[in-house]
Amino acid sequence: MVFEMSTGMIRGLGTVVVFIAFIGLVLWVFSSKRGPEFAQARLLPFADEPPADMTPQDPAPRSTRP
């Protein structure tokens, strides 16, 4: 018995593979074990900012002219 793979069958199998990968990704992202790791990663954009207590409250004026 010869089994021919048509274009539709290949596309269908590709869709199933991508769907299974999507479901796996969703389960990985919403896993309760990942909570602390994602909480730490959520703060990464603010890692290079200086702490609030080190920023000057009243900056010096740029010009001394009246």
Q: Which two tokens stand for residue 18?
A: 């991508």
Residue 56 has pLDDT above 60, yes or no: no
pLDDT tens string 2-38: 677 789 999 999 999 999 999 999 999 888 888 888 8
What does the chain come to in residues? Answer: 66
Residue 41 has pLDDT above 80, yes or no: yes
Query: What letter does residue 57 receive in the DSSP assignment?
Result: S
To the question of pTM greater than 0.85 for the whole model, the response is no
Q: CA dist 16 to 12, 23, 25, Å?
A: 6, 11, 14
